[in-house]
Amino acid sequence: MNIKEASEKTGVSSAAIRYYEKESLIPAIDRTEVGNRDIDDRIIRRIRFVTQMRAAGMSIENLRRYIELFDAQEDNTKEQKALLKEQLEVMEEKRDDLQAAIDHLNYKLNHFYDHMEATEEELRQLEKQHAEKLNSAESDDIK
């Protein structure tokens, strides 16, 4: 499949795919006789992996280092796991921040009046609720 088809299939622009290849976020892509990229499903999956991690807020730089480690043949399982865990923590924190902001907006939506003049009381309450949620690890308002 050529780069345009790959672009349509993944929703990633042709230029971005070339950029990802250059930055080694995806493996070197095979070329046809005339030098055009010939993209297979393995590449498509890796483009999607990049997209997912990028959407989750991972930088190109970290993603590159991460992928380098995984692609290396040596047995660096330990470092790989450490890197994975590190990234997981970053993402979990991000998710929690996001959830706190969602709670904040939901609160505004439910107690709709002058949201901009929120009193310290309101804020303390929100923080309390958030702390409780993190402790109980039970009650969840997803969806």
Partner DNA sequence: CCTTGCCTTGAAGTCCACATGAAGGTTTAA
Partner DNA sequence: TTAAACCTTCATGTGGACTTCAAGGCAAGG
Q: Is 1 in the site for a copy of itself (CB under 8 A)?
A: no
In 3-state terms, what secondary structure has residue 98?
A: helix
Q: Are 27 and 43 in contact (CB under 8 A)?
A: yes
**Cα distance between residue 116 and residue 84, in whole Å:** 39
Residues 6 or more apart whose CB falls under 8 angstroms from that of 9 comprise: 1, 44
**Residues in contact with DNA, shown as a per-residue x/- string from 22 to 51 under the rule CB under 7 A:** -----------xxxxx--------------
Shortest distance in whole angstroms from residue 24 CB to DNA:
12
Gap between the Cα atoms of 16 and 69, Å rounded: 22
Distance, CA of 74 to CA of 61 (rounded, Å): 21
70/132 Cα distance (integer angstroms)? 38
Q: Which of 33, 61, 117, 121 binds a copy of itself (CB under 8 A)?
A: 117
**Rounded Cα distance, 15 and 19, in Å:** 6
Around 58, how many Cα atoms within 13 Å sit in the side-chain half-sphere? 24
Nearer Cβ to DNA (1/69)? 1
Nearer to a copy of itself, 28 or 134 (CB): 134
**Measured from the CB atom, is 32 or 77 closer to a copy of itself?**
77
**Does residue number 62 form part of the binding site for a copy of itself (CB under 8 A)?**
no
**Which positions touch DNA (CB under 7 A)?**
2-5, 13-16, 18-19, 33-37, 54, 59-61
**Which positions touch a copy of itself (CB under 8 A)?**
42, 45-46, 49, 52-53, 55-57, 67, 70-71, 77, 80-81, 84-85, 87-88, 91-92, 94-102, 104-106, 108-109, 112, 115-118, 123, 133-134, 137-138, 140, 142-143
